[in-house]
Amino acid sequence: MSRETIFFLHTLKDLEGALPLGNGLYLNGDFNAVQQYILDGKPIEGVIRFFAGYAGWDHGQLAKEIKENSWLIGKAGKETLLNQHFRDLWHTSLNEMGGKYAIWARYPQYPSLN
């Protein structure tokens, strides 16, 4: 895990170097241009969300973990990813997936206290 790297999701379709993720959402791009965008007083809320740090995997490790169902994979909505408070993001994402995942979202944090 590294906390020295910043990633950002955004809706700035013309940002040079941005990786399109689909549904009008992009990953990273020209960080200097993003800094200038912010300094120019343009809107950030609902447009850009920054993430500090990342976790890394050995070659093939993530694919193996996905195959073993160690990860939940779903399509998160752009509005959720850009606007949801970070403390509620997991809960909201599970609810959006529906079914058993929505039940998981309502599971108490400390079930032994029930």
Whether the CA torsion 63, 69, 72, 74 is positive or negative: it is positive
- Is residue 2's pLDDT more than 60? no
Per-residue pLDDT of 30-85, as tens digits, reads 999 999 999 999 999 889 999 888 788 999 999 999 999 999 888 878 888 898 88
Tell me the pTM.
Answer: 0.74
**Per-residue confidence band for 7, with pLDDT thresholds at 50, 70 and 90:** very high
pLDDT at 26: 96
Secondary structure element (H or E) that encloses residue 49, with its range = strand 48-54
d(CA 62, CA 69): 11
**Per-residue confidence band for 25, with pLDDT thresholds at 50, 70 and 90:** very high
Any idea where the domains of the chain sit in the sequence? Answer: 2-71, 84-114
Per-residue pLDDT of 92-105, as tens digits, reads 888 888 898 888 88
